[in-house]
């Protein structure tokens, strides 16, 4: 068996230009470890040679004992290899730690020459990183301006905040900042106009709801009034019917009383007077109810006039809202022309980003149009 020894890392390399080191002497314990490997190699070679002629009859007790004794000797040889491995490894581990310590000391000296210059480079790199981070923060702030806007007033406030951001100080990011600034401004203008339209529609919807509620309430009041009039009429008819029945009864009683004694005449006259008084009172109640009905009709007429006035106001408000929408569209077109130029109008119209009210029906055959 041939054994080779690795180069000693504690010794200078062949191209080292420093002073020549002293002659290296292999330590005694390392030489001992090498001689142990040689001895073990010889033992393994001998065991291999002896194994070629070994034949056992494993079922015979004598050969079984001889085989077990032979295997025990091989296991002892195997254990010697493991012990030699550990001893040799301990030697190299100790030398490796010595090499690491020397290398660490040498590296520390070189690092001391590197650090002053590297610190300056790191400082410049940190300043550059901070400068870029600040510019990117401005870019992110510009891009985030249209986010979370829920009202037209908030969109207007964001436009004012956007106008206060200076993109000329972004250095190499100036072009990106101006592009994001223009994009954010366009989105905020579109959001502001859209939200204004939505808020105007909401106001109109609330007015319509209030009008409908007032109309339904007036209809309920009219229905209640009409039911009251009908009830009074039924009561008056019932009273008249009762009066007629009573009159007929009185006439029958009068006929009967004529056949009775003269004393009954005075009683019948008194009954007639009482009936006349009741009829007069009933007439007065009927006239009172008629006056109340007239007053109710006059109130209903006033309610109808108020409803008509509300309808006129609603129409005027709708016309005003339409005028505001037209003015908003004119203003947006003027803003787009001012911002992008008149040449950008076709592209904005085609992309549908000019205004929600301006769209293209692509189903039309333009060749036939």
pLDDT in tens, 185-216: 888 898 888 888 888 888 888 888 888 888 88
Q: Looking at the domain assignment, is residue 144 inside a domain? A: no
Q: Are residues 33 and 163 in the same domain?
A: no
Q: Are residues 103 and 160 in the same domain?
A: no
**What is the number of structural domains in the chain?**
2
Confidence of residue 369 (pLDDT cuts 50, 70, 90): low
Backbone angles phi, psi at 23, to 5 degrees: -60, 125
Q: Are residues 164 and 35 in the same domain?
A: no
Q: Are residues 70 and 179 in the same domain?
A: no
- Residues ≥6 apart with Cβ < 8 Å to 350: 360
pTM of structure? 0.34
Q: Looking at the domain assignment, is residue 162 inside a domain? A: yes
Confidence of residue 129 (pLDDT cuts 50, 70, 90): very high
Q: Looking at the domain assignment, is residue 246 inside a domain? A: yes
Poorest-pLDDT segment among 100-114, 119-133, 148-162, 275-289: 100-114
User: What's the chain's average pLDDT?
Assistant: 79
Query: 196: domain range?
Result: 153-351
Q: Are residues 182 and 314 in the same domain?
A: yes
Contact 95, 10 (CB under 8 A): yes
Nearest CA to 141 out of 177, 190, 171 is that of: 177
pLDDT the model gives residue 3: 35
Q: Are residues 206 and 315 in the same domain?
A: yes
Query: How far apart are the C-alpha atoms of 364 and 308, rounded to whole Å?
Result: 43
pLDDT the model gives residue 29: 52
The DSSP 8-state label assigned to residue 172 in this structure reads G
Nearest CA to 348 out of 338, 336, 357 is that of: 336
Indicate whether 12 pLDDT > 60: no
Nearest CA to 24 out of 14, 11, 35, 13 is that of: 11
Q: Looking at the domain assignment, is residue 141 inside a domain? A: no
Task: Look at residues 113, 131, 162 and tell me which one is the last residue of a structural domain.
Answer: 113
Q: Looking at the domain assignment, is residue 329 inside a domain? A: yes
Query: How far apart are the C-alpha atoms of 171 and 99, rounded to whole Å?
Result: 52
Query: How far apart are the C-alpha atoms of 367 and 5, rounded to whole Å?
Result: 91
Q: Looking at the domain assignment, is residue 229 inside a domain? A: yes
Q: Are residues 252 and 310 in the same domain?
A: yes
Q: Are residues 202 and 94 in the same domain?
A: no
Q: What is the arithmetic mean of pLDDT over 296-308?
A: 88
Q: What is the arithmetic mean of pLDDT over 128-147?
A: 88
Q: Are residues 177 and 228 in the same domain?
A: yes
Q: Are residues 36 and 96 in the same domain?
A: yes
Task: Look at residues 113, 138, 170 and tell me which one is the last residue of a structural domain.
Answer: 113
Q: Which two tokens stand for residue 279?
A: 């009829």
Contact 47, 74 (CB under 8 A): yes
Of residues 291 and 341, more confidence is placed in 291
Task: Look at residues 86, 113, 140 and tell me which one is the last residue of a structural domain.
Answer: 113
Q: Are residues 40 and 187 in the same domain?
A: no
Confidence of residue 221 (pLDDT cuts 50, 70, 90): confident
């Amino acid at each position: 068996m041939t054994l080779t020894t690795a180069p000693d890392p504690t010794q200078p390399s062949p191209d080292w230009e420093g002073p020549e080191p002293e002659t290296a002497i292999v330590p005694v314990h390392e030489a001992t470890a090498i001689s142990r490997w040689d001895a073990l190699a010889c033992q393994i070679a001998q065991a291999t040679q002896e194994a070629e002629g070994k034949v056992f009859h494993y079922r015979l007790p004598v050969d079984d004992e001889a085989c077990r004794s032979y295997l025990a000797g091989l296991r002892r040889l195997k254990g010697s290899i493991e012990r030699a491995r550990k001893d040799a490894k301990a030697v190299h581990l100790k030398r490796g730690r010595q090499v690491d310590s020397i290398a660490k000391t040498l590296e520390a000296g070189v690092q001391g020459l590197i650090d002053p210059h590297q610190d300056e480079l790191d400082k410049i790199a940190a300043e550059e990183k901070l400068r870029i981070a600040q510019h990117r923060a401005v870019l992110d702030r510009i891009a985030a301006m249209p986010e979370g806007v829920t009202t037209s007033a908030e969109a207007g406030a964001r436009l004012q905040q956007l106008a206060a951001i200076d993109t000329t100080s972004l250095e190499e990011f100036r072009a990106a900042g101006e592009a994001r600034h223009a994009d954010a401004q366009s989105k905020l203008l579109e959001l502001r106009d859209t939200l204004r339209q939505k808020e105007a529609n909401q106001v109109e919807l609330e007015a319509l709801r209030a009008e409908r509620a007032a109309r339904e309430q007036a209809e309920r009041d009219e229905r209640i009034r009409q039911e009251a009039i009908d009830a009074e009429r039924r009561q008056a008819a019932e009273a008249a019917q009762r009066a007629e029945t009573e009159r007929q009864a009185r006439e029958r009683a009068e006929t009967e009383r004529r056949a009775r004694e003269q004393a009954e005449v005075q009683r019948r006259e008194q009954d007639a007077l009482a009936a006349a008084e009741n009829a007069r009172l009933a007439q007065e109640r009927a006239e009172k109810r008629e006056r109340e009905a007239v007053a109710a009709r006059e109130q209903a007429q006033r309610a109808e006039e108020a409803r008509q006035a509300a309808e006129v106001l609603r129409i005027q408000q709708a016309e005003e809202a339409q005028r505001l929408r037209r003015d908003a569209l004119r203003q947006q077109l003027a803003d787009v022309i001012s911002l992008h130029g008149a040449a950008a109008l076709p592209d904005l119209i085609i992309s549908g980003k000019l205004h929600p009210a301006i769209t293209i029906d692509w189903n039309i055959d333009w060749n036939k149009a």
